[in-house]
Homo-oligomer: A and B are copies of this chain.
């Protein structure tokens, strides 16, 4: 089973934990709608790739961390789409959760996915000998989504009058990528802090790709309506650097991410995965000029 299949299967299993049978039917459907079909699953792939690079390709705790991270990412999208934030009726080419199920169920689906994410970690951490690493993984993930420097903080900076743009992106996007890499390392028993820089660079690269997709009217990467940044007055790298400048920055960040990979057994394979993912981030009609095919495994 490849990484993508493992992730989809683990997400489905998380939504089907024993107590799922008792879940109110509409809530259950709303949570499923928020998670399937997914996007590129970049963050959980990074967690699994990091754990594998650290010598633990089959770690149950790493798979639980990957699953939790994707559930939390999906929860943040559900809440971010709601009328009091982006008021986005579309997500991944389909109605957003609140557009389909109403605001109350969207709010609860997000809450439910957050709680479920932590339950998934709890179950993996409860296995013999996994308690300590589980607590470490739990702390890393909680901080990556939390109100201090995680996703919740990033969304809340949108409510402040004055915002440092780099800080905003670091919290809203970078923190979960950094946490995804760190959690994979921690689950594998490696020192997690050394792995954060890799995730941070990938988070920045993803942000540029997101800006390109938004500015160029390309919904393939984000699956949401294009032109939102201009409409909502948000910063966008394409407006600042131009298309060529943004593409060059995306390539530079990909190389910086690869340079940030700590010494590990699976360095070459991880490098190939990162180059492959970076290529997938490019808007399709740009023909991947920034990253040559020869660079992609």
Contacts and interface: CB of A to CB of B under 8 A. Distances in A.
Contacts of A25: 160
B139 A131 contact: no
Interface centre among A115, A125, A145 (most CB of B within 10 A): A115
A27 B135 contact: no
Contact of A146 (B21, B119, B138, B160): B119
A28 B116 CA distance: 25
Interface residues of A, number: 63
A134 to B, nearest CB: 5
A152 B119 contact: no
A150 B115 contact: yes
A60 to B, nearest CB: 13
A228 interface: no
A107 interface: yes
A61 to B, nearest CB: 11
Contact of A104 (B85, B128, B135, B149): B85
A111 B108 contact: no
Interface in A125-173: 125-126, 128, 130-136, 138-139, 142-143, 145-150, 152-153, 155-160
Interface centre among A102, A112, A123 (most CB of B within 10 A): A112
A84 interface: yes
Contact of A107 (B82, B115, B119, B126): B82
A18 to B, nearest CB: 8
Nearest to A72: B115
A177 interface: no
A133 to B, nearest CB: 8
Contact of A23 (B17, B142, B148): B148
Contacts of A19: 143, 146-149
Contact of A111 (B22, B27, B131, B152): B152
A31 interface: yes
Contacts of A123: 139
A21 B152 CA distance: 14
23 contacts: A19-B149, A20-B147, A22-B148, A23-B147, A23-B148, A23-B156, A25-B160, A26-B160, A27-B153, A28-B147, A105-B159, A108-B155, A116-B142, A118-B118, A118-B142, A119-B143, A119-B146, A121-B138, A122-B135, A122-B136, A126-B136, A131-B134, A138-B138
